[in-house]
């Protein structure tokens, strides 16, 4: 049985779902949670339901906004005061920035962007995609503890029946230390939709969208089925969509339950960002488009005809 700390990020006071995925998978081990920032009143209870033994709320000057140095100083001091075997976090933008930095502070091993893991006799064994997802590596961590692990959001899935933990919560005075590179302002994206990396359903458009205005048909479909809209790099480079929407090797890595690729050829760099999606649907006029070799369902057709029909059919099906 391992002694684990899970660092959670929050969104409007709510813990990010990847934290609950990790906690669910950690069942049978002792799992504490550390959070920096505001936590909504009901969230300790939620964390307890998914197995958190203790919830440590780190608070202190300089921690109001994320900064790599401030968060890593605060967390490393906290971790040094405990005896954790492993520290987990989501492989989000923040997790990818923070956790390797923490691992360097401790001179410890770090397994990043894992899509699965188990504990064998208390030792971590993880799976992580390599070479743009072309192969999967089994990773183990050796050397001084704690070891550090980041987990790709949506990869593990929510536990069917999580084991409840004690959920004892306490504030911890934390020191951000010296912050040499301070973030002055964070400008939130205008969209109110779930971030691509956490979305359960994604509808993405490629070069075939032709312009930014045509993304409306994808937004209409997304509104009906509760999806977030993404884009290929060709669509982003052509100015049809902002870079925040790009899926792929130089964009975001996503693992939704359903990925609908509209007018996307399926280049290796795009597949790198979405090939771990549970179900892939491709709509393309070219029956030989490479995306069809990865798709679970393929529709050979013009997306400007197919997508509006899908939207209407989903409306009927879902009573919207
Ligand atoms: C270093 C590097 C990093 C990269 N990173 C990324 C990345 O992060 N993400 C990414 O996406 N790409 C990335 N790329 C680019 C990648 O190689 C492809 O160029 C890009 O993914 C192609 O985008 P696309 O599929 O939208 O366009 P295209 O390859 O041009 O495909 C358009 C598709 O639309 C179909 N089509 C045309 N009209 C219609 C219609 N009316 N209805 C239905 N289908 C239609 C066509 O048959 C075609 O298959 C990267 C490239 C490099 C070199």
C-beta separation of 146 from 86 below 8 A: yes
Domain covering 196-318 in this structure, CATH number: 3.40.50.1220
**Which residue's CA lies nearest to atom 37 of ligand 1?**
208
**Which residue's CA lies nearest to atom 51 of ligand 1?**
269
Bridge partners of 282? Answer: 261, 298
Measured in Å, residue 95 CA sits from the centre of ligand 1 at 28
Measured in Å, residue 263 CA sits from the centre of ligand 1 at 8
- The pLDDT of residue 186 is 80
Which of 229, 239, 249, when mutated, tests ligand 1's pocket best, judged by the most ligand atoms within 8 Å of its CB? 249
Half-sphere exposure of 253 (CA within 13 A, CB side): 22
Measured in Å, residue 40 CA sits from the centre of ligand 1 at 41
Is 304 a pocket residue for ligand 1 (Cβ < 6 Å)?
yes
- The pLDDT of residue 171 is 95
Q: Which of 257, 268, 280 lies closest to 199 in space, CA to CA?
A: 257
Measured in Å, residue 277 CA sits from the centre of ligand 1 at 18
pTM: 0.87
CA of residue 291 relative to chain centroid, distance: 23
CA of residue 23 relative to chain centroid, distance: 15
Residue position matching structure tokens 């975001």: 252
From first to last of the 320 residues of the chain, give the pLDDT tens digit: 899 999 999 988 999 999 999 999 999 899 999 999 889 999 999 999 999 999 999 999 999 989 999 999 999 999 999 999 999 999 999 999 999 999 999 999 999 999 999 998 889 999 999 988 889 999 999 999 999 999 999 999 998 887 888 889 999 999 999 999 888 888 877 777 788 999 999 999 999 999 999 999 999 999 999 999 999 999 999 999 999 999 999 999 999 999 999 999 999 999 999 999 999 999 999 999 999 999 999 999 999 999 999 999 999 999 98
Beta strands in the chain (DSSP E): 3-8, 10-11, 14-15, 30-36, 52-59, 86-90, 110-114, 116-120, 123-130, 135-140, 147-151, 168-173, 201-205, 228-231, 258-262, 279-284, 297-300
**Which residue's CA lies nearest to atom 23 of ligand 1?**
234
Contacts of 269 (CB under 8 A, 6+ apart): 132, 233, 248, 249, 250
Work out the angle at residue 106's Cα, subtended by the Cα atoms of residues 30 and 14, and round it to the nearest 5 degrees.
50
Ligand 1, atom nearest to 264 Cα: 25
- The pLDDT of residue 121 is 83
Evaluated on CA atoms 188, 189, 194, 196, the torsion sign reads: negative
Bridge partners of 90? Answer: 151
Residue ranges matching CATH 3.40.50.620 in the chain: 3-173
Distance CA 255, CA 156 (A): 9
- The pLDDT of residue 70 is 97
Measured in Å, residue 235 CA sits from the centre of ligand 1 at 8
Q: How is residue 214 written in tokens?
A: 């045509």
Architecture of the domain delimited by 3-173: 3-Layer(aba) Sandwich (3.40)
Is 237 a pocket residue for ligand 1 (Cβ < 6 Å)?
no
**Which residue's CA lies nearest to atom 35 of ligand 1?**
263
Contacts of 80 (CB under 8 A, 6+ apart): none
Residues in the chain: 320
Residue ranges matching CATH 3.40.50.1220 in the chain: 196-318
Is 10 a pocket residue for ligand 1 (Cβ < 6 Å)?
no
Residue position matching structure tokens 């090939």: 275
**Which residue's CA lies nearest to atom 38 of ligand 1?**
208
């Amino acid at each position: 049985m391992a002694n684990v700390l899970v660092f959670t990020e929050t969104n409007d006071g709510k813990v990010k779902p990847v934290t609950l995925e990790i906690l669910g998978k950690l069942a049978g081990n002792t799992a504490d949670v550390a959070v920096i920032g505001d936590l909504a009143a009901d969230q300790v209870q939620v964390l307890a339901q998914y197995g958190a033994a203790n919830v440590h709320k780190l608070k202190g000057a300089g921690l109001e906004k994320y900064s790599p140095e401030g968060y890593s100083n605060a967390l490393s001091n906290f971790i040094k005061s405990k005896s954790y075997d492993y520290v987990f976090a989501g492989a989000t933008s923040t997790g990818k920035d923070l956790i390797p930095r923490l691992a360097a502070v401790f001179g410890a091993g770090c397994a990043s962007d894992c899509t699965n893991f188990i504990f064998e006799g208390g030792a971590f064994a993880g799976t992580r995609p390599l070479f743009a997802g072309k192969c999967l590596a089994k990773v183990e961590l050796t050397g001084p503890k704690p070891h550090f692990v980041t987990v790709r959001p949506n990869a593990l899935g929510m536990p069917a029946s999580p084991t409840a933990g004690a959920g004892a919560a306490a504030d911890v005075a934390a020191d951000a230390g010296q912050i040499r590179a301070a973030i002055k302002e964070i400008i939130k994206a205008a969209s109110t939709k779930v971030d691509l990396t956490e979305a359960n359903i994604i509808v993405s458009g490629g070069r075939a969208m032709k312009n930014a205005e045509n993304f409306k048909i994808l937004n209409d479909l997304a509104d009906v089925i509760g999806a977030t809209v993404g884009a290929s790099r060709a669509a982003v480079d052509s100015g049809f969509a902002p870079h925040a929407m790009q899926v792929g090797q130089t964009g975001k890595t996503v693992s939704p339950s359903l990925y609908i690729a509209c007018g996307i050829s399926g280049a290796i760099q795009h597949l790198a960002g979405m090939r771990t999606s549970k179900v892939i649907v491709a709509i393309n006029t070219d029956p030989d488009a490479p995306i069809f070799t990865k798709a679970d369902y393929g529709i050979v057709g013009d997306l400007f005809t197919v997508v509006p029909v899908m939207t209407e059919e989903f409306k009927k099906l879902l009573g919207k």
